[in-house]
Chains A and B, each alone.
Chain A
Amino acid sequence: MTDRDRELINRYVYEVTRRVPKEQRDEIELELRELIGDMLEGLTLDQVFAKLGDPAVFARKYREDKNYVISPEYYDNYVWVMKIVLICVWAGLFISMVVQCIIDYTNIFYETARFISGLMTGSVGAFGAVTLVFAFMERQKIKVELKKDKAWTPDMLNPIPAKKARISRGDCVASLVFIMIFACILIFVPQFIGACSTDGKEVTCISIFNMDRWGMILPVFLIALMAAFVDEIIRLVAGCYCRSVMLSSIIANGIQVILSALVLKVLPIWNPDFVFELELNLSESFHWKEQLINRWNADLVSDIILGIIIIASAIEVGLTVYRTLRYGRALGVR
């Protein structure tokens, strides 16, 4: 055996052993050297390597770990949610582009380029987010299943959820679509939420939000939307009211109420010059301009919106808890 052969064998052994768990490394190295030595008695080194194949594949067989992120059990729902999310992202981007182009058609080229780059980053981001959520659920579920190591019996068949306990897929999809569109608007065109007016040529928009501090406010919005998003996916996967849906609803709505309070009462969300800019830009013919300007009170608006959010969350949590206790079933218990 030449030095070069010896070096190649060392390299092959190294390529396999660096990919296997530390505690098995030494023994696997010995095994490999034994195997290669035995094979060399009847074959050339090239033939041996051809027979052993890619060291990465060899190492994978030694590792015998799960080589998937999303298991077949979750795959159907994963693909389904992925489709919806991607369609929403694309639709949101498209709508925002169209709106931008209508408002300022001199910038069509720029908006189209932004749309295309948005498509790429948005798709990658959405793909990653959905995969992460499902991979997380996958890992959690595995822990739960490992704990209860019981054989399946027909007793474990849960009763078919009563009609009223079912969560319609359509509702979940509608909510998901709404969340995605809202997120797209907040990310891409927040300046258009407010008063828009046109003098025939140009559209002037006075955002109701504080655009100077938007970088600080947007993440809080997005976390709240993410909570709602995860909650909807859990509903979608569960398909009926049960304990996990109830818990997720309580947690998600709790997060949303806390973040809403944060955004509305602590962060400078409103455009401080809203009234001033309105006065400058709105035409006199706008007949309730006076009233709007005189009555605009940011604190009051905050309080009203916060009140609506708290009531809506309370109703949603209340309905979910009621339906779970009334019609639903605890997970895995008759």
Chain B
Amino acid sequence: MAEEKDLMANLTSELRRGTLILSVLSQLSEAKYGYALVQSLEEKGVEIDPNTLYPLLRRLEKQGLLSSEWDVGESKPRKYYRRTFLGDDIYRELKAQWEQLSVNMERILREGSI
């Protein structure tokens, strides 16, 4: 039973992993700081661990999809991320891919329904 649970947890996290980048990109048309992003995703039912998100944000920045800026004006310094132009393009493409994927998946799953 415990093994089945582990397996399920593994498979679920694998399934979600592929959607993380798209979820993150979708939220960053306006600048947001890391934890605000965690919370806004959580409100929409997408859970992401901070220890996954923060490294991911850095990676996306390195790849040129996001840009960041430290805001030191407020009481504590915060790093704000937003999509770059390249990020916008990639997001559009990924979104189209996702829509196609979800249409196909729906059809496949309907055929294979138990």
A contacts, CB < 8 Å to B? 24, 30-35, 37-39, 51-53, 57-58, 61-62, 64
Contact = CB atoms under 8 A, between A and B. Distances in A.
Contacts, number: 44
Contacts of B55: 58, 61-62, 64
Binding site secondary structure of chain B: helix
B49 A34 contact: no
B49 A51 contact: yes
A57 B51 contact: yes
A143 to B, nearest CB: 22
Interface stretch (B7-15, B22-30, B76-84, B95-103): B76-84
A57 B59 CA distance: 16
24 contacts: A24-B58, A30-B70, A30-B79, A31-B34, A31-B54, A32-B54, A33-B76, A34-B34, A34-B35, A34-B79, A35-B34, A35-B35, A35-B54, A38-B33, A38-B34, A39-B35, A51-B49, A53-B51, A58-B51, A58-B55, A61-B51, A61-B52, A62-B58, A64-B55
Given A34-B34, A35-B50, A58-B55, 15 more contacts: A32-B54, A34-B33, A34-B35, A34-B76, A35-B34, A35-B35, A38-B35, A38-B36, A52-B50, A53-B49, A53-B51, A61-B51, A61-B52, A62-B58, A64-B55
A330 B33 CA distance: 54
A31 B52 CA distance: 13
A24 B57 CA distance: 14
A37 B76 contact: yes
A57 B33 CA distance: 22
A62 B59 CA distance: 9
Contacts of A38: 33-36
A34 B72 CA distance: 11
B76 A51 contact: no
Contacts of A24: 58
Interface in B46-89: 49-52, 54-55, 58-59, 70, 76-79
A93 B28 CA distance: 64
Nearest to A63: B55
A34 B78 contact: yes
Q: Most A CB atoms within 10 A — which of B33, B50, B70?
A: B50
Q: Which 3 A-B pairs have the closest CB atoms?
A: A38-B35, A61-B55, A58-B51
Nearest to A42: B39
Contacts of A53: 49, 51
Contacts of A32: 54
Nearest to B62: A64
Given A30-B77, A34-B34, A34-B76, A39 B51 contact: no
A53 B52 CA distance: 11
A64 B59 contact: yes
B10 to A, nearest CB: 16
Contacts of B50: 35, 39, 51-52
A69 B77 CA distance: 39
Contacts of A52: 50-51
A20 to B, nearest CB: 10
Nearest to B34: A35
A34 B51 contact: no
A62 B33 CA distance: 17
Contacts of A30: 70, 77, 79
B79 A31 contact: yes
B9 to A, nearest CB: 15
Contacts of A39: 35, 50
